[in-house]
Structure 1
């Protein structure tokens, strides 16, 4: 995520832990404070947006690494906005050990609504009975929680998928409900997996399948625009760089076949990881990601101390996603098409 963050005297939009942050001005024509990063009082990562009515909810992991630690993500947080300028912090919604079978690691997660309930699919480290990364599902009657384990066991665990290059191939779930009501789960590091969900949203409905995607690394995100399905993901070509980029593929169906369309985002600032989240909200499309450019207190940004940001997302006349530049201004700048 080597975004084009600029040092200097930019006024950052800050989110506190107790409520909303006032906009810079009540005059809609007045310039707003710089958008990125969205939250400056703590480190956040792996953004997952969800629109419910006139509100956008953003689920993130809380990066707590200190010094040379790599990852120490202790809980998931959620923020909300109705205007993309003022954000309300709702506090922690869950921690990994709320899944009694898990031991640690609040890695990437995503929430979705079905029939008035909210399902939260989250990456954790399973306990010693089934070691490796796993995906749990929690449920709530509110997008802000509290969320509770919906199964009492992992939805996906390391022993359920083909032997990958390491024990953390079962991470980064993205969930999608198609127009016909069918629900799908996609996930994976190094390997890209997908499976249909049962109508209850907490069981797999059929086998775990795989698909080949060029330069696929992790962090899949599935969305649909018109009749076209878009699968964005963190990609990496180690012969060129250790940094992840964001690539995407399109398909006429949720199950493919996928056609690779290329890269849409460069690497993050000061972090080799980058994680996409894409959503349409009030007629605009947005691209969420994280970078390592924020200092909080005595802890500079980095791989284990990331910061969530957002940019406008645009499509060409042929339906392709146009390249995205990471900025400090984010969506505080005027929309250009």
Structure 2
């Protein structure tokens, strides 16, 4: 009897240890998607979408965007909802992928949603920008209108193609925005972050579908994106010698994720390590419309190419 009790206690201990190691998904109390990390001073802030569809629903229901932060990559502080579609008087519909960046002393949160039918647009997807003096808000509509509307991009026939903005500030402080479903578009932004500074250019990386993420490491520029080579989505990427290309296709870095036909990259360096954020549907009752954000390590080869992402339930270790 004593041996049986000891064995049972040991099993409970092992199960508890396993649960503690199972960090992914990193947010477990609500469903989150489309991760966008930002390092500001000593803190990593994570800007996310918010899935609220029921188990039975078969489409997205995303009313707002949320913010989290960490200083050790293990313990996450929630700031709750910090921005919603209702912030933008011109907007309607869902709160799709977004990214917040720091520039000239302010925080600019570029978002994808949909435009009301009015004198400025016949509807369809649109990109707006909110601004704040602090990384956690409060945020307000920076210009009172959409930065990109569906009428400005004609290379795709559908009305939902202007989504998933990512912002990159180059070493010379020139700001670029990339976005798009079906094709990838890019444009230069003025230093005020709220006006276009160039014509819109369209590019079509191999297998590109949506969710671009652009950054620079050493002398290489990276364009990482969700691919349409297969369904569910995977993550593939290109590199270039400049923010405008020419882009060279480099391959797949993340295979399909559990229980979700979409995935979405967010890449950042923090306290000496590189991290790859993404979402899957692995929480209980989760799925393609009830997603959850995870994080794993990202490693580079000597030539700057990215090693395949190893998806884990353990996640990453704590840093000081």
State if a TM-score over 0.5 links the two structures: yes
Of 318, 324, 328 in structure 1, the residue corresponding to residue 309 of structure 2 is 324
The C-alpha deviation readout for 1:282-314, integer Å capped at 9, x for no partner, is: 11100000001112xxxx111110000000000
The C-alpha deviation readout for 1:130-175, integer Å capped at 9, x for no partner, is: 2101000000001001110001110001000114131111000000
Alignment of structure 1 residues 28-43 onto 2, 5 Å: 33-43=21-31
1:78 aligns with 2:67: yes
| TM-score (normalised: structure 1) | 0.87
Shift of 1:97: 1.7
Partner of residue 138, structure 1: 130
Secondary structure of the 1:159 match is helix
1:229 aligns with 2:221: yes
1:47 aligns with 2:35: yes
Of 185, 209, 213 in structure 2, the residue corresponding to residue 193 of structure 1 is 185
Secondary structure of the 2:168 match is strand
C-alpha separation in 1, matches of 2:310 and 2:278: 11
Secondary structure of the 2:316 match is helix
Give ranges in structure 2 of 5+ residues lacking alignment. 1-13
Of 187, 193, 203 in structure 1, the residue corresponding to residue 195 of structure 2 is 203
For these two proteins, the number of residue pairs brought into alignment is 302
1:288 aligns with 2:271: no
C-alpha separation in 1, matches of 2:289 and 2:15: 25
Alignment of structure 1 residues 159-308 onto 2, 5 Å: 159-237=151-229, 241-295=230-284, 300-308=285-293
Partner of residue 104, structure 1: 93
Aligned Cα root-mean-square deviation (Å): 1.6
Secondary structure of the 2:151 match is helix
| TM-score (normalised: structure 2) | 0.91
Shift of 1:12: 8.7
Question: Are residues 290 and 9 of structure 1, via their aligned partners in 2, closer, same or farther at CA, if it must alter by over 3 Å?
Answer: farther
Question: Are residues 33 and 162 of structure 1, via their aligned partners in 2, closer, same or farther at CA, if it must alter by over 3 Å?
Answer: same
Partner of residue 5, structure 2: none
**Structure showing the higher helix proportion among its residues:** 2
Partner of residue 118, structure 1: 107
Secondary structure of the 1:232 match is strand
